[in-house]
């Protein structure tokens, strides 16, 4: 695998790199369960900048660095000069002289791009409003564990098409060799450029990316069904309106009846039961959301090892 300088979107990875990272993550997961030492990053430090709060992102990166023999530093804007007006570029230049890698969870995607442009160490996008690549690596790892392959599987995302999970799943599915459908209400379609690039990427490998207004069409024959909360951080004032518009897109027993018999359900969490998904689905036998959450740790360890070793 060639050296990856940064991970800002899934498109920073080739198909081969995605598969190699997943294979590495599976191996690292087994080493942890066997108690086999894997301290590939001894003496290394990851700086973690959080402008958006998190449970899974913070804990998985911090624990991951510890298990790899390194150290992680939590940084919030109020703890940094960034929160007092220092430019992103200057912050990146200073921090990259102290640490061996930087993970950022923030709002505007331009922030991580500017950070990467001015950093002399690898930068990882822990989430922006447009992309969530580390979550999608964990999602693809979970699919691989449950299905034994990625190539040719059918993934359906039902819900808000214009959010970071949809965009990164579109890129990840197209790159990794899956077919993908998206179903969203009018006005919540995926970013046009990201969607069209995913369509073209999938077409080049003989796969398909499609959009439907009808969630039943999108779910038909799906091997993987994915959703996310209807109201993401920063859109709280729209919650009541979104609840009404997205109700027909709820993942429930009626909707999944047309999926493949052995479909799996994924959700990046946190989940709002009886909103975007019913308890019967997320707590049912086809749900692998907690395996998916655990796999954030393992997939990110594989990524950290590759970027910072």
Residues forming the active site:
105, 132, 135, 228, 268, 296
CA dist 132 and 165 (Å) reads 6
Say if residue 164 carries a ligand binding annotation. yes
Say if residue 165 carries a ligand binding annotation. no
Rounded (5°) CA angle 240-244-247: 130
Say if residue 201 carries a ligand binding annotation. no
Cis peptide preceding 217, ω within 30 of 0: no
H-assigned helices in the chain: 15-34, 56-67, 88-95, 109-118, 133-147, 164-176, 192-204, 215-219, 239-246, 253-256, 279-282, 289-308
Say if residue 134 carries a ligand binding annotation. yes
Q: Find how far residue 256's CA is from the centre of its chain.
A: 23
Measured CA to CA in angstroms, residue 133 lies from 57, 139, 258 at distances of 12, 10, 29
Say if residue 244 carries a ligand binding annotation. no
Say if residue 106 carries a ligand binding annotation. no
Q: What is the pairing mode between strands 224-227 and 264-267? A: parallel
Say if residue 233 carries a ligand binding annotation. yes
Say if residue 9 carries a ligand binding annotation. no
Say if residue 278 carries a ligand binding annotation. no
Say if residue 167 carries a ligand binding annotation. no
Please report the DSSP string for 4-66 in residue order: P--BSSGGGS-HHHHHHHHHHHHHHHHHHHHT----TTTT-EEEEEESS--SHHHHHHHHHHH
Say if residue 19 carries a ligand binding annotation. no
Measured CA to CA in angstroms, residue 137 lies from 13, 29, 75, 172, 212 at distances of 11, 14, 24, 8, 25
Strands of the sheet with 101-105, listed across from one edge: 71-75, 45-50, 101-105, 123-127
> Which residues participate in the annotated binding site for L-ornithine?
164, 228, 232-233
Name the binding residues: 54-57, 81, 105, 132-135, 164, 228, 232-233, 268-269, 296
Annotated binding site for carbamoyl phosphate: 54-57, 81, 105, 132-135, 268-269, 296
């Amino acid at each position: 695998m060639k050296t990856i300088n940064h991970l800002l979107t899934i498109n920073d990875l080739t198909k081969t790199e995605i598969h190699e990272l997943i294979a590495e993550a599976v191996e690292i997961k087994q080493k942890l369960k066997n108690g086999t030492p894997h301290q590939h990053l001894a003496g290394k430090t990851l700086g973690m900048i959080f402008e958006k709060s998190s449970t899974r992102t913070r804990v998985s990166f911090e624990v991951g660095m510890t298990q790899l023999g390194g150290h992680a530093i939590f940084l919030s804007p109020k703890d940094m000069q960034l929160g007092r007006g220092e430019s992103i570029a200057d912050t990146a230049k200073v921090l990259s002289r102290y640490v061996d890698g930087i993970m950022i969870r923030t709002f505007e995607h331009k922030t991580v791009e500017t950070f990467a442009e001015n950093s002399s160490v690898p930068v990882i996008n822990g989430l922006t409003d447009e992309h969530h690549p580390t979550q999608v690596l964990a999602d693809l790892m979970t699919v691989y564990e449950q299905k034994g392959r990625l190539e040719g599987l059918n993934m359906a995302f039902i819900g808000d098409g214009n959010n970071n999970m949809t965009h990164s799943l579109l890129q990840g599915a197209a790159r990794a060799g899956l077919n993908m459908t998206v179903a969203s209400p009018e006005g919540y379609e995926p970013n046009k450029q990201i969607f069209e690039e995913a369509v073209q990427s999938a077409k080049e490998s003989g796969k398909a990316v499609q959009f439907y207004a009808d969630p039943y069409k999108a779910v038909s024959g799906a091997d993987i069904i994915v959703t996310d909360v209807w109201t993401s951080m920063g859109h709280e004032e729209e919650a009541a309106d979104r609840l009404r518009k997205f109700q027909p897109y709820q993942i429930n027993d009626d909707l999944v009846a047309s999926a493949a018999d052995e479909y799996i359900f994924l959700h990046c969490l946190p989940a709002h039961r009886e909103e975007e998904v019913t308890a019967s689905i997320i707590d049912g036998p086809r749900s692998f959301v907690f395996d998916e959450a655990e796999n954030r740790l393992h997939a990110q360890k594989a990524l950290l090892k590759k970027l910072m070793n």
